[in-house]
Structure 1
């Protein structure tokens, strides 16, 4: 919604077509075009197809945001091979395929472009019970730095953003799993982390969107290879 308000036409990519249609309708009420494409980011060919679809339907392609991701709350001593495989395929390989597909499209169009990926505070600091999730978000930072260096000569910038404790369904799931593992009451883990935020409140999706808007816009044209924290003052680097 923030990018639509900024003047962007939006290509939505997800596995839930009904939810995408709701968002697309809302984008269109803001006077922007929107198109949807069902894809699973674990599958490279589907991400390439999604980018091709976006270019065709919107008559252009300027910004790629690799935002898909899942969380896993599990002690390192209990993590299974299947769990590791799934979260790395979504959180790391999904970002890699997105970077590849976007960079190829920008080069085909002989134009500059912006690639933006979701990392996390867990990409700057490993958290207990979130060890494998943290590893995937550290990997996003590594891909961001490497891609920024590889594609700079093509006028393609590559950055990431690192949110903290955002009040979304993902944190509801984290809090629930933390309670199951540690015996804490529901809401206790969430409140503990919010209590450590310097600005004194949980992060909102709008807080994150405002920073992504900066990364997607012209004011960030001289910025590449970076993964800044946008967390209200929780992790400091």
Structure 2
């Protein structure tokens, strides 16, 4: 029975256990980055799908163990923590899509479909959100304006994330030649190197591509 309890989260062998741990670590990092980033980040549907499979497996393993041992309660608490991470991560993304639906879809339109930030379900939600907002804007504003002023340029009226927002981040790998604009009267530019393990605070737009590749993590 004890072996059964110990394997609730580990699967059938050590390799599977390590894989599950790595997936959870990636989920935690994705959650943290999404929570601290001013913009919507690339979707992590592969991690989410994998974690959902792990949750189903853990639930089945817990149900098979017929005991009230303390370990079972600990496993259940860990399961609830993972559910919270998943729910919180998805909720954060939905809030950003609600706020920046048009801007996100316009950005995705310039990307390769395989590199889209939105999942299919998120894209459907964003389209519906944009449609409702445009209809509201039409009814409240545009219809009361002269005909020559009723055209709607979505790019000019949509909300956009503030990429100049300062963020705190940790460097995951050495990066050379990062261009930083100094906050001086003449706005001088400086090229710096980032070393693994360092922590910095900078404008988000400076490290934006590094956040996408995972070279840095927001903290």
Mark yes or no: TM-score above 0.5.
no
TM class, shorter-chain normalised?
under 0.3
TM-score under structure 2 length normalisation:
0.24
Report the structure, 1 or 2, having the larger helix content. 2
RCO higher in structure (CA 8 A, sep ≥6) = 2
